Amino acid sequence: MLALQGGFDPHLRALDRLGVPSCKVLYVQDLEGIDGLILPGGESTTIGKMLARFGFLEVIPQAVSRGLALFGTCAGMILLARQIRHYDQVHLGLLDIEVERNAYGPQVESFESSVRWRDGRTTPAVFIRAPIIRRLGPQVEVLAEQEGLPVLVRQDRILAASFHPELTSDLSVHRYFLELCGADSQETRRDSSSLQP
Ligand code: GLN
């Protein structure tokens, strides 16, 4: 869990509830031996500056090429995006999307809603000064939408949500990320064992 700034604690609690071990990443050395990294919501300009200052901009892409899975929520999605409309700010650019920051309006326009997965399931979601995805690259798969807009997308082992799944009790997005990490939570083990004949 990237813990430089922003809302990382609720993500740690979600991972805890899924029974997977987690740790806070504050320095590049902390990336050693982990399967996935979550970039939390917060202030993308601040987190971007800290990523640059602490050497993450070089090390995270290298780790991704060695198989590290990434999951960005809100500001985390902005940091992963290839392009950020109207802003010239430090970012990783690993996910082939263009985002527009704060595109749903200011903090007071924050809202709770639900997002619809492609199979019709819905998941509750909190949107806080959320970005809107304005362009999707050909390799990017839309996993869920809200009001016809893509809000959960994936490219290989990179997952990004414009909303905050960690602020609800629903664990389905984190569970999906664990699958990308190749991890197997206690809960998914229980679920899949219940499917055994
Ligand atoms: N608006 C913030 C940004 O642009 C993101 C808000 C959030 O992460 N909830 O960085």
- Extended strands (E) in the chain: 36-39, 69-73, 81-84, 95-100, 111-117, 122-127, 132-136, 141-146, 149-155, 158-161
Q: How confident is the model at residue 193 (pLDDT cuts 50, 70, 90)?
A: very low
Q: How far apart are CA 147 and CA 184, in angstroms?
A: 32
Question: Is the confidence at residue 192, as pLDDT, over 50?
Answer: no
Best of 8, 11, 38, 43 to mutate for ligand 1, by most ligand atoms within 8 A of CB? 43
Chain CA centroid to CA 64, Å: 14
In a domain, 4, yes or no: no
User: Ligand 1, closest atom to CA 42?
Assistant: 8
Q: How far apart are CA 160 and CA 78, in angstroms?
A: 9
* pLDDT on residue 183: 56
Domain containing residue 140: CATH number: 3.40.50.880
In a domain, 138, yes or no: yes
* pLDDT on residue 196: 38
Q: How confident is the model at residue 107 (pLDDT cuts 50, 70, 90)?
A: confident
Give 90: exposed, middle or buried? Use CB within 10 Å, 0-12, 13-18, 19+. Answer: middle
Best of 44, 45, 109, 111 to mutate for ligand 1, by most ligand atoms within 8 A of CB? 44
CA of 191 to the centre of ligand 1 (A): 34
The tally of domains found in the chain comes to 1
Mapping DSSP to helix (H, G, I), strand (E, B) and coil, where does residue 75 land? Answer: helix
In a domain, 3, yes or no: no
Residues of the domain holding 103: 9-195
Listed range (27-31, 51-55, 180-184) with the worst mean pLDDT: 180-184
Q: How far apart are CA 108 and CA 58, in angstroms?
A: 36
Q: How confident is the model at residue 119 (pLDDT cuts 50, 70, 90)?
A: very high
In a domain, 171, yes or no: yes
**Single-letter code of the amino acid located at 142:** V
User: Ligand 1, closest atom to CA 46?
Assistant: 10
Mapping DSSP to helix (H, G, I), strand (E, B) and coil, where does residue 175 land? Answer: helix
| Catalytic residue positions, numbered | 74, 164, 166
Mapping DSSP to helix (H, G, I), strand (E, B) and coil, where does residue 1 land? Answer: coil
